[in-house]
Structure 1
Amino acid sequence: MSLKSLSDDKPVGVIGAGNFGTVVANLLARQRNVLLYARDERVVQRINESRENRGHKVEARIMATNDLGYIAEQCEVLFPIVPSAHFRSLMRQLSPWLHPYHLLIHGTKGFDVSLPDGQTLDSIQTLNRSMVKTMSEVIQEESVAVRVGCLAGPNLSRELAEGHPAATVIASHFDEVFKVGRRLLRNEHFQVYGNNDIVGVELAGVLKNVIAIAAGALNGMGYGENARGLLVSRGMVEMVYLGRALGGNTKAFLGVAGVGDLVTTCNSSLSRNFTVGHRLAKGERLSDILQSTDEIAEGINTVKVAKKCADHYKVRAPITTTLYQVLFEDMTVKKALEYLMRYPLNIDIDFLSEEHE
């Protein structure tokens, strides 16, 4: 397939004006003019007039718009960064204006679930891989875009906005996607790595949110660093097993987008998922936590999806299963952590030798 070469002077598009979308737009604005899509016209007007969004300064080279057709017409490179619950509907709205020459790098860490008629995520007992899609798979299903990638890694919005040293991974089957993304995003404080296992990288970024909620709960109970180290290490093993069942490769979980992201979100109150776990441990109800936050903690839905996938593939996932009981079956955080400390696991690392079996 012959694909159009990308222009070096066209603006870059970011679709989604949440915290991470705004920060990515500011990073891109170091290299190019940027069009930033927000659905709400009031948000568009505020960004363009006050040059501020969600507490972040908005660079002068960024123009906000609520016209998807315009952003697709003007931009050849697009970064869709919206919650997973809205990702497929966004792609359906965007699709009529996309062409095979468009290059898309998403920054969404969540699952898209398609269920049989009459079923809901609460009513269905188990989920198999055909029902659970990553965002790159949604892009490919809903559009003619060919060059697709994802952005994943330890990328807390506030630290990126403040210019702290950080790194990310751009994963794609196409080397060109990585090269274009690196050229647009890399700077003296922000390193960009490449990976060809896009599904593995996506799965690592999604599944680590489950462990981050558990880490926040651990912190909220006042447990120390020894307990956190145990949780993170066992959480990594759990991520690898479930990730492999869903089609990822172990190597993706051992890099920046896997263990790097896991360690960061399991140790930071800046992580939305960590914060959810912390507040649960302090006795707040999940419904109250959800009502009081303006951005989605992807890990909540991921716990439900991951647990049902683990059941289907008979994957040992004690952290995911126990956290599911905390979030949706009224188990207390104290009881959950006591159970996990007693869970019989006699082997430390038991997956590396199985990778090529």
Structure 2
Amino acid sequence: MGKGGEKGEESGECKAQIPFYTWEEIQKHNLRTDKWLVIERKVYNVTQWANRHPGGHRVISHCAGEDATDAFQAFHINPTLVQKFLKPLLIGELAPGEPSQDRDKNSQLVEDFRTLRKTAEDMNLFRASPLFFSLYLAHIIAMEALAWLMVSYFGTGWITTLLLACILATSQTQAGWLQHDFGHLSVFKKSSWNHLVHKFVIGHMKGASANWWNHRHFQHHAKPNIFKKDPDVNMLHVFVLGDTQPVEYGKKKLKYLPYNHQHEYFFLIFPPLLIPVYFQIQIISTMIKRRFWADLAWAFSYYMRYFITYIPFYGVLGSLSLLTFVSLFPTMPRHNFWKVKPLVKSLCAKYGVQYEEKPLGKAFVDIIGSLKKSGDLWLDAYLYK
């Protein structure tokens, strides 16, 4: 009894020695040479570990000085395994009086969202269908093989070329979405298997680098549509979107923008230039103009207004439907998005967030309207501010 009591007292002393930190202190450690973050109320110093982070140092660095609980759960398919790497980095805990969320988040909404995620896990919505992805890969390979056989048998005539353009455009687009699935670790339970097939699909079928894609795309989901942090919109003066960037660059008298400058002539002079349209599709599909995890309620309200839940074209645009759920659940297999949709709609209804669904035509009208609005804002700032 005596020894047991001494051991208990010793454990209590060790536990009492764990330092507690306030958010004011934690938020100071968000520098390149000093990075702290919080996961489930535990404080970790990731300054040295950031350079060894498998997802890249920028992804984890973006969460420095912040609560990274939701991002941690969203990106890791085996959190228990990752916890082993976190133990040596533990330096303390949040002080008892401190809220679990930072930067004035709606704590009740965050808890409700985490409950929603737990419900999705209990429904096995994070479990992929091997048959779905096997058939998906098989039909892409079949289309690629058909294209080669057509060239070898029929040659390169105009009719053959037009047919091949349709077949290869479809197969390459679908291969792009398939590599996206494996890159998101949403197919296999082991990360290494996902990475292996991802390298095959993007490398051998798309001719791109898996490491390059991971480096950029993980940052995109860590800070969706955050200028200077999300590589997909960090195009400096090239793609200026939204309400604030056009005004900012208009005041600086920058005028070499692809569609903001004299926007009324954009589609007349450059009909093949669809890159800005692609970026607008992506922005409107996810519609997260500032860090998602920083203000979940605001994000729900903003992007749900332009939420595209169904796009009936398989070939070039197929898989854009339900794209928003990738930001909510990055590792969820896409064939389960429609199952989690009612849960998300219910959460939106609870907090009075408008949940809007649009047909394809209306979505493209809104895209053109958004482009015109950005151009008008830039032009006004350029001329008068």
The two structures have a TM-score, normalised by structure 2, of 0.25
The two structures have a TM-score, normalised by structure 1, of 0.26
Larger fraction in strand? 1
Bigger relative contact order, structure 1 or 2, given CA contacts below 8 A and separation 6+?
Answer: 2
